[in-house]
Amino acid sequence: MEKIAVIGGGAAGMMAAISAAETGHEVHLFEKNEKLGKKIFITGKGRCNLTNASDMDEIRRNIVTNSKFMYSALYTLSNDDVIQMFQDVGVETKVERGNRVFPVSDKSSDIIWGLTKMLKKQQVMIHLNTGIQDILWEEGLEKKPVIKGIITEDGEKLFFSKVIIATGGYSYQSTGSTGDGYRFAKETGHRVTDILPALVPLVVKEECVKEMQGLSLKNIRADFYVEGKKVYSDFGEMLFTHFGVSGPVILSASSLLTEGLRQGKKTELVLDLKPALDEKPLDERILRDFSEYKNKDFRNALGDLLPKSMIPVIIERSGIDEFKKVNHITKEERRNLVNVIKNFRLTVTATRGFQEAIITKGGVNVKDINPATMESKLVSGLYFAGEVLDVDALTGGFNLQVAWSTGYLAGTSAAGSNKGE
């Protein structure tokens, strides 16, 4: 019988402990917090978007970094498998827009409850309020180090034949994600790529965003350009803030912008505020509004077309005098107005920090990890799973699927029940 330690009681860690214990091994799960699943509890605004119901090709397309590395893990535990696992313990799920999967109850606590039920069933020993200080290892055959166990923050040495590191990244540090896994990885000889915040709001240069702070736009098209080249395009919802922009389309795009922003590359966001209308139909719509308000000032003729807080910003960008009567506005001026609405440009200067990031971009270099088992290529008996790895995805349940799949594969491999071993 193997004696297996799992460090980190988040999504990947709990799944690793469950799968490692399925074949009867002694499994200990160590969590530095007072309870398991703290980050799961707040994910999806407290609803927990636990996976995505798209086909496997679509899931891999939504993994931004190292999607090929995920091939074995995703087929070992697929999105369908995850949904079935939760249904088997009484957590019913539903599919929403974008194939996002949520618990029917809309409560993330149900997901944690389901995982806890699985842990109890497999008799996993759970150690809360127990931080880990170091990994114990010794030189093995052919000088490849071999895992011996762990040292707790209290200095206690605990011996294990296998150790799974599932400590998360740097994002949402209040949940305990303080980068411990990167330190463990480096101390055992692994490379760690640059760590950056991802799925994070964006800072923009233009002061006008402050005038629109709190304004949510539901049906916009957002195109992102780095040095003039389009790198991402999406349709959906966004929010103006005091520092810039946030919301679903912004968060997803951020993962593709972080590296360029760090290198100082020119980054632009171009919003189409009326994507359902081409320029000619939009001009005709504006003409109809103008005929209705023909004796009004320009500033009082846009209320049917644009949100109130946006009107002064659009007027300024159009170059049309706000007091000009609409029946005196020229065709050329209307063309400028259409252009501003269809091409509302903002200059992105930075992302917000780790405290506001949903996930971490970067992590343990996957070249040091066997993708068929999640075991280290450098240290025998050491495994990595979840956000600590250099794998990240877009919003929509894809990052939790990465956590479930890598955790499950690490657990079954550590238990010796994975055919990839």
- Residue 272: pLDDT band (50, 70, 90) is very high
- Please work out, in degrees rounded to the nearest 5, the angle formed at the alpha carbon of residue 195 by the alpha carbons of 193 and 199: 125
Indicate whether 262 pLDDT > 60. yes
Instruction: Supply the pLDDT for residue 244.
Output: 97
Instruction: Supply the pLDDT for residue 417.
Output: 63
Indicate whether 174 pLDDT > 80. no
The architecture CATH gives domain 201-352: Orthogonal Bundle (1.10)
Question: Looking at residues 61-82, what average pLDDT do you find?
Answer: 97
Question: Looking at residues 112-138, what average pLDDT do you find?
Answer: 97
Instruction: Judge contact between 14 and 36, C-beta under 8 A.
Output: yes
Instruction: Supply the pLDDT for residue 419.
Output: 42
Question: Looking at residues 104-108, what average pLDDT do you find?
Answer: 97
Indicate whether 190 pLDDT > 70. yes
Hey, where are the domains in the chain? 3-195+361-414, 201-352
**Per-residue model confidence as pLDDT tens digits over 303-358:** 999 999 999 999 999 999 999 999 999 999 999 999 999 999 999 999 999 989 99
Instruction: Supply the pLDDT for residue 43.
Output: 85
Indicate whether 136 pLDDT > 80. yes
- Residue 379: pLDDT band (50, 70, 90) is very high
Instruction: Supply the pLDDT for residue 57.
Output: 96
Helix, strand, coil share of the chain (percent; to 5): 40, 25, 35
Question: Looking at residues 11-18, what average pLDDT do you find?
Answer: 98
CATH class of 3-195+361-414: alpha beta
Q: Tell me which of 139-153, 213-227, 406-420 is least confident.
A: 406-420
DSSP string, 245-272: EESHHHHHHHHHHHHHHHTT--EEEEEE
Instruction: Judge contact between 407 and 15, C-beta under 8 A.
Output: yes
Indicate whether 196 pLDDT > 90. yes
Indicate whether 421 pLDDT > 60. no
Q: Is the dihedral of CA 260, 262, 268, 274 positive or negative?
A: positive
- Please work out, in degrees rounded to the nearest 5, the angle formed at the alpha carbon of residue 150 by the alpha carbons of 144 and 152: 155
Q: What's the mean per-residue pLDDT of the chain?
A: 94
Indicate whether 198 pLDDT > 80. yes
Instruction: Supply the pLDDT for residue 420.
Output: 41
Instruction: Judge contact between 29 and 14, C-beta under 8 A.
Output: yes
Question: Looking at residues 63-67, what average pLDDT do you find?
Answer: 95
Indicate whether 282 pLDDT > 70. yes
Question: Looking at residues 399-410, what average pLDDT do you find?
Answer: 98
Query: With pLDDT > 90 as the criterion, what percentage of the chain qualifies?
Result: 90
- Residue 387: which of 378, 396, 376, 400 has the closest Cα? 400
CA distance 358 to 200: 6
Q: Does the predicted model carry a pTM greater than 0.85?
A: yes
